[in-house]
Amino acid sequence: MLFLLYIADVIVSAQRHGFLALSYVDDTQLYFRDRASSVETRLQHLKDCISEIDRWMSSHRVLLNADKTQCIWLGTRQQLTKVHCHTVDVENVSLQVATKVTCLGVIFDSELTFSEHVTSVVRRCFYHMRQLHTVSKSLTTEPVKTLFGRSLQVD
């Protein structure tokens, strides 16, 4: 909480440049909504905003981690075909525009279909179900009922 109060100026700076900003622990995300045709103009605002944030961070002994910085365009397939910018150059770093990013454990794809996130969740669920099935073979009937919510044959 103290860290968020400490970096509140970052959010104010982002808003001054016309961006929405969300922070969670030490992760800050900048958002903007605009027409696909306005991307080039908004990119200059983004570069200016990140430069200002980087200067603020440097003066307050906080580092902007360029290795963890990501950029993604969100929109419909038709809108995304109108965006021709595939790299964003910010503070001597060239960022590849991603087709998917992870935010707080949720995988966002550029069309917001969430298909990759659903696949990932299902894969993890099946993994844990297989692990539970393996463990259930060494348990008595009562704990197995608790695990699976029904009566199962235990070897």
Report yes or no on 94 lying in a domain: yes
In-domain check, residue 108: no
**Residues 89, 15 share a domain:** yes
Residues 28 and 92 in one domain: yes
Q: Which of 54, 70, 99 is the last residue before a domain boundary?
A: 99
Q: Measuring CA to CA, how many Å separate 72 from each of 6, 31, 88, 153?
A: 27, 10, 10, 49
pLDDT in tens, 100-146: 999 889 999 999 999 999 999 999 999 998 888 888 778 777 776 77
Residue 49 in domain:
yes
For residue 137, the enclosing domain spans: 114-155
pLDDT exceeds cutoff 60 at 151 = no
Res 57 pLDDT > 90: no
Where do the DSSP E strands lie in 25-147?
A: 27-31, 71-72, 87-90, 93-98, 100-103, 106-109
**Of 88, 85, 92, 74, whose CA–CA distance to 31 is shortest?**
74
Residue ending a domain, choose from 75, 99, 123:
99
Same domain, 91 and 34: yes
Q: How many CA atoms lie within 13 A of 55 on its CB side?
A: 7
DSSP string, 4-32: HHHTHHHHHHHHHTT-EEEEETTEEEEE-
pLDDT given for residue 147 in this prediction: 66
Q: Residue 60 pLDDT more than 80?
A: yes
* Confidence (pTM): 0.72
Answer yes or no: is 87 within a domain. yes
Question: The tokens of 58 are what?
Answer: 């440097």
How much is the pLDDT for 88? Answer: 85
Are β-strands 93-98 and 71-72 bridged in parallel, bridged antiparallel, or unpaired?
parallel
Asked, for residue 120, whether it belongs to a domain, the answer is yes
- Position 149 scores a pLDDT of 67
In a domain, 106, yes or no: no
pLDDT at position 29 over 60: yes
